[in-house]
Amino acid sequence: MKSQKSRGGKGDRTLGAASLTKERVLRAAVDLADLGGIESLSMRRLGQALGVEAMSLYHYVSNKNDLLDSMADFIVSEFALPSKGSDWKAIIRESAMSAHAVLWKHPWACRLKVARPDAGPAALQYIDSIMGCLRRAHFSTQLTHDAHHAIFSHIYGFTLQELGVRSSIKSLDPEAVAIFLQQMNDRYPYLVEVGRGAKHDHELEFVFVLDLILDGLEKVRDVS
């Protein structure tokens, strides 16, 4: 009687490869990036996480660049698409907040998406949905184009900056900050005043600026 193949042997890897799907590959890649950052991701490590040889992955992605492009689009697929309704500001507000939350959950993803601007199927669907919401709200084609860029610049630009701030704040010692502010007080009094008196909340600030953008777009639409 032949002995059974040991767990983790070639037989198991063949079975693992047979059960792969592109979604499973991308989900595993996202999980690895969440754990160790995008720089830690390699085809070999991804294959190990899925229990397959790295070569099996090339049936789903042509190379590492294709994997990164697909991951960027996979993240966008987690954004809540704008719903249909008459309150376009509330609809876009909710969708933009969802996008910010997803990018905050995957800290590496915002930088990856900005660096790889080519739009995949999920990104195209998201853009089309935002534009559709604006067009149904009687925005002109030109204002829809401009509004789309304003909204997306806020989503990605604000989030990217705040992720950098979060990284910097984590490394700061409160006592060192207090000393630093005291030393800066004579030269930069207003910066120190605001730094000491204001609270920093990325979610509230994201919505604050988003509402300014949406209110401004409404005014421009109404006078165009």
pLDDT in tens, 47-88: 999 999 999 999 999 999 999 999 999 999 999 999 888 899
Q: What is the pLDDT of residue 17?
A: 63
Given a cut of 90, whether residue 151 has pLDDT beyond it is yes
Cβ-contact 25, 57 below 8 angstroms:
yes
**CATH classification of the domain holding 21:** 1.10.10.60
Given a cut of 70, whether residue 4 has pLDDT beyond it is no
- Is residue 119 packed enough to be buried (19+ CB in 10 Å), middle (13-18) or exposed (0-12)? middle
Given a cut of 90, whether residue 191 has pLDDT beyond it is no
Query: Residue 202 and residue 103: Cα distance in Å, rounded?
Result: 12
Given a cut of 90, whether residue 140 has pLDDT beyond it is yes
User: Are 106 and 46 within one domain?
Assistant: no
Q: What is the pLDDT of residue 184?
A: 83
Alpha carbon 74 to chain centroid, angstroms: 10
Which H, E and C letters describe 35-72, residue by residue? HHCHHHCCHHHHHHHHCCCHHHHHHCCCCHHHHHHHHH
Question: How many angstroms separate the Cα of 41 from the Cα of each of 28, 30, 203, 216?
Answer: 10, 9, 29, 41
Given a cut of 80, whether residue 18 has pLDDT beyond it is no
Joined together, the tokens standing for residue 180 give: 């630093």
User: Are 45 and 126 within one domain?
Assistant: no
Q: What is the pLDDT of residue 2?
A: 44
User: Are 92 and 140 within one domain?
Assistant: yes
Given a cut of 90, whether residue 202 has pLDDT beyond it is no
Query: Residue 55 and residue 180: Cα distance in Å, rounded?
Result: 53
- Asked if the structure places residue 71 within a domain, the reply is no
15 — pLDDT class (breaks 50, 70, 90): very low
Q: Which domain holds residue 47?
A: 10-61
Query: Residue 72 and residue 165: Cα distance in Å, rounded?
Result: 22
At 163-179, the pLDDT tens digits run 887 665 555 567 776 77
Query: Residue 198 and residue 95: Cα distance in Å, rounded?
Result: 28
**CATH classification of the domain holding 209:** 1.10.357.10
Given a cut of 50, whether residue 194 has pLDDT beyond it is yes
User: Are 56 and 93 within one domain?
Assistant: no
Question: How many angstroms separate the Cα of 48 from the Cα of each of 56, 92, 206?
Answer: 11, 40, 38
Q: What type of residue is 60?
A: Y
User: Are 106 and 191 within one domain?
Assistant: yes
Q: What is the pLDDT of residue 175?
A: 75
